[in-house]
Amino acid sequence: MSDLLLSILGEKGSLKSVYPGFVSRSSQVAMAEAVEEAIHAHTTLVVEAGTGIGKTFAYLIPALLSDKKTLVSTGTKNLQDQLFHKDLPTLKKLLAINKKVVLLKGRSNYVCLYSVDAPRQNQLFESKDAANDFSKIERWSKITTTGDLSELENFSEDSSVFQHVVSTTESCLGNSCEFYEKCFVVKARREALSADVVVVNHHIFFADLSLKEESLGKLLPEAETVIFDEAHQLYDAASSFLSQRFSSRQLSLLIKDIQAEYLMLGADHPGILRLVLAIKQEVTNFRLSMDESASNIGSRRDAWFEIAGKKSVKKSLENLCKQLIELASCLAEQSQRSKGLENAWERASELSAFLNNLLTEKESNADVNIRSISIDNEARAQVSSGVYKSVHEQRSKRATKLSIERRWIFWFETFLTGFMIYKTPIDFSAQLSSAMNDPKKSWIYASATLDAGFGVDHFTKPLGITSNNTLILESPFNYPEQARLYFPHYLPDVTDDDFIPKWMEAIIPLLEAANGRTFLLFTSHRAMKHAHDYLKKMDFALLVQGQTTKHALLENFKTTERAVLLGTSSFWQGVDVQGAALCCVCIDKLPFASPGDPVTKARINAYKSAGRDPFYEYQLPHAVIMLKQGVGRLIRSETDKGVLVIGDMRLITRNYGAAFLKAMPKALMVRDEGKVVEFLRGIE
């Protein structure tokens, strides 16, 4: 450890001068030392830093002290904002370093000057309120210096007007746009290219990596150190970004942009107007055809082949494809008239190509040709005895001789009035490998949850990361003193219809003892709704995901008496409530991804096809990491106290439960409700 790092993070370190509550931790010092070494040696480091270690400072300080251009990528906007607005300014001042730091957001956070050019938007709003909102944004766009839409006040985050004014990859005209020199996205990226430290999110990182956007593709090549915080989210971010999409929203925005250009140029081509109106109607027809019946209109998520053979779906899809091809042909003839029409031509061509690809997808390709292996019951039993790791390694070696045959899957989602169709890669490790192992750069992957109990292979291999330089650092919190782990007696199986009522019945005494102050975390929206219906008769202030923004719900939770917050996946991670405001976290089920989910199912089949065990290599590690995230909401500081309650008895009745228990904090396990109630009543 360098003397400089020790003078900052040590017992008598300078951090205490700006953070009076700062406590020097040997684990934080060890992480900072490992990061410093990786930066100077141009190597890769994968580090799990348990809650309370202070991983942010452990990677920021070595990065700032180095002379390397650094790219820091996070999984959430909250952490991105915290790094830029709080942590980095404080450390720059403390270290007396005058480095240029830039926060770069995704383009959808910026207003598009071309889109708010008034003549292109005339008569395109269906309501007076939307038109008024647009006028406010148009006036603001003339005075803002950043174009960041977060500056706008009194606007709902889900206001329909935003889709008309944000910058998008599809509609961007690039350097041929008349507003290019004033473009806020271009300005932000120019600033980033000249910065010493750039703070981005994982989505922007993958945009840069794939060179999907010309103006962004210089960031990663110039960076010498790349740091990922919340690295456990990288796999999902990569999968999402590398997917191709076809949606009703894309078609709606294309139609809107064509109509705007059409009106601006004099509305002198009736053929284009006829086609966009026909497409608009066919989009509605196609959406209706996707439902199982006229009385069953709503949300659905399934593999494409499940509806591909339906006559109404096929007919509507063929009509839509034909209309898009015809529209692209008309736009090609008119594309010289404006850059907007040229852009619309390119988009119509890409969308029709996607549909043509979808139409030629063979139903026989829907599933992988499975050469499945049976899951060895003896191997499962060995998890609890600690022998599983060697079994896992043996299977991994055997699997290297086999390849995953299917590389992508078509699947779809339907909503009340819209739809999305995806082409998602099943395995993208080869696609990422060369970039994620660039020897000219230092790569730091940090998270509080990376080790699933038998290493980090489940994290590194799918991302193509070949390094085995791993550091696992446990949380410094005193869990035996600060927390209790409680399993209620006699709960039914989580698949039983009466599980949620029995689960609520079991935890109501705890809610009373805690006087609210509880998170109820669910693995599905359906379970959350049932729990909410059950608890409405109780005297608690119920805060339910979806009622308002996540930030507003958390602020209300902190200040409301007898508050109980009900949430699904978005509240399992990235949420920090310190102090007595939160003293109980209840989790209904082990967070296994639904095997019926089309992407999960395809990946399970791909593992089987490769002669690998999807349960232990894919499903179990991801569930363990997710549970660790949920559990991590409870104890956030040295003085926090609380109870973690889990309703899924598979933790103690199934052999694989040992993998979850091994990954849990070392809290005192209790089965006596009375002792848990007493512990909760003592938390003030």
Overall domain count for the chain: 4
pLDDT of residue 118: 54
Q: What range defines the domain where residue 26 resides?
A: 3-100+195-240+429-473
Would you say residue 423 lies in a domain? no
Model confidence band, residue 391 (pLDDT cutoffs 50, 70, 90) = very low
Q: At how many degrees (to 10) do helices 499-514 and 525-535 cross?
A: 60
Verify that 223 and 91 share a domain, yes or no.
Answer: yes
- The per-residue pLDDT for 246 is 95
Q: So what's the pLDDT on residue 386?
A: 41
Backbone angles phi, psi at 427, to 5 degrees: -135, 115
Please indicate, yes or no, if residue 45 is contained in any of the structural domains: yes
pLDDT of residue 400: 34
User: Last residue of some domain: 361, 382, 408?
Assistant: 361
Lowest-pLDDT range of 48-57, 100-109, 405-414? 405-414
CA–CA gap between residue 60 and residue 590 (Å, rounded): 34
* pLDDT value for 125: 65
Q: Indicate if 590 and 663 belong to the same structural domain.
A: yes
Number of Cβ within a 10 Å radius of residue 98: 7
Asked whether residue 574 falls in the same domain as residue 464, the answer is: no
pLDDT at 402 over 50: no
Q: What is the pLDDT of residue 397?
A: 40
pLDDT at position 467 is 86
Q: Are residues 172 and 227 in the same domain?
A: no
Q: Is residue 585 part of a domain?
A: yes
Q: Of 176, 205, 223, which closes a domain?
A: 176
Domain-embedded: residue 370: no
Whole-number pLDDT of residue 472: 95
Whether 258 is covered by a domain: the verdict is yes
Environment class of 32 (CB within 10 Å of its CB; exposed 0-12, middle 13-18, buried 19+) = buried
**DSSP 8-class letter at 82:** H
Query: How far is residue 152's CA from residue 138's CA, in Å, rounded to a whole number?
Result: 11
Is the confidence at residue 380, as pLDDT, over 60?
no
- Whether pLDDT at 209 is above 70: yes
pLDDT of residue 16: 85
Residue 314 lies in a domain: yes
The residue among 353, 332, 352 whose CA lies nearest residue 344 is 332
Residues 630 and 498 in one domain: yes
pLDDT band at 372 (very low <50, low <70, confident <90, very high): very low
- Note the pLDDT tens digit of each residue in 513-563: 999 999 999 999 999 999 999 999 899 999 999 888 888 899 999 999 999
Structure tokens at 584: 């109980």
* Arithmetic mean of pLDDT, 163-182: 84
Rounded distance, CA 359 to CA 329, Å?
A: 20
pLDDT at 362: 58
Tokens, residue 530: 């049932």
Per residue in 23-54, pLDDT (tens digit) is 889 999 999 999 999 999 999 999 999 999 99
Question: Please, are residues 584 and 677 in contact by the beta-carbon 8 Å criterion?
Answer: no
- Packed helices 270-289 and 248-264: angle between N→C axes, nearest 10 degrees: 170
CATH of the domain at 44: 3.40.50.300
Three-class SS of residue 518?
A: strand
463 with 565, same domain: the answer is: no
| Confidence band for 388, pLDDT divided at 50, 70 and 90 | very low
The pair of structure tokens assigned to 174 is 């690039």
User: Is residue 183 in a domain?
Assistant: no
∠ CA 82-85-90, rounded to 5°: 100
Are 550 and 484 a contacting pair, CB within 8 Å? no
The mean pLDDT of the chain is: 86
Top-ranked range on mean pLDDT: pick from 131-135, 167-171, 394-398, 552-556? 552-556
**Residue for token pair 């390694």:** 393
Query: Are residues 29 and 5 in contact, defined by beta-carbon separation less than 8 angstroms?
Result: yes
Predicted local distance difference test score (pLDDT) of residue 169: 81
Please state, in angstroms and as integers, the Cα–Cα distance from residue 583 to each residue in 488, 545, 566, following that order: 17, 19, 15
Give the per-residue pLDDT at 596.
86
> Identity (one letter) of the amino acid at 156?
S
Q: Report the predicted TM-score, pTM, of the whole model to 2 decimal places.
A: 0.87
pLDDT value of position 123? 52
- For residue range 468-503, list pLDDT tens digits in order: 899 999 999 999 999 999 999 889 999 999 999 999
Q: Are residues 547 and 648 in the same domain?
A: yes
Same domain, 231 and 126: no
Task: Kindly state the average pLDDT of the residues 355-379.
Answer: 49
Residue 202 confidence (pLDDT): 93
**Would you state the pLDDT for residue 182?**
92
In the predicted structure, residue 613 carries a pLDDT above the cut 80:
yes
| Burial environment of residue 319 by CB neighbours within 10 A (0 to 12, 13 to 18, 19 or more) | middle
* Per-residue model confidence as pLDDT tens digits over 554-605: 999 999 999 999 999 889 988 889 999 999 999 999 999 988 899 999 999 9
Instruction: Give the CA distances from residue 226 to residues 27, 42, 119, 232, 661, in Å, rounded to whole numbers and listed in that order.
Output: 22, 10, 43, 15, 33
Residue 618: both structure tokens together: 């894919």
What confidence tier does 120 reach under pLDDT thresholds 50, 70, 90? Answer: low
d(CA 59, CA 138): 41
- The alpha carbon dihedral of 670, 674, 679, 683 has a sign of positive
Tell whether 56 and 30 lie within a shared domain: yes
Question: Count of residues for the chain?
Answer: 684
Q: CB count, 10 Å around CB of 579?
A: 13
Q: Does a structural domain hold residue 663?
A: yes
624-678, pLDDT tens digit by residue? Answer: 999 999 999 999 999 999 999 999 999 989 999 999 999 888 899 998 999 999 9
Using the 3D structure, point to which of 438, 473, 508 is the last residue of a domain.
473
Which of 14-28, 147-161, 300-314 shows the highest mean pLDDT? 300-314
The whole-angstrom separation of Cα 528 and Cα 76 is 23
Residues 469, 483, single domain; the answer is no
Split at pLDDT 50, 70, 90, the class of 377 is very low
Same domain, 273 and 200: no
State the Cα–Cα distance between residues 512 and 490, nearest whole angstrom.
20
Both 72 and 211 in one domain: the answer is yes
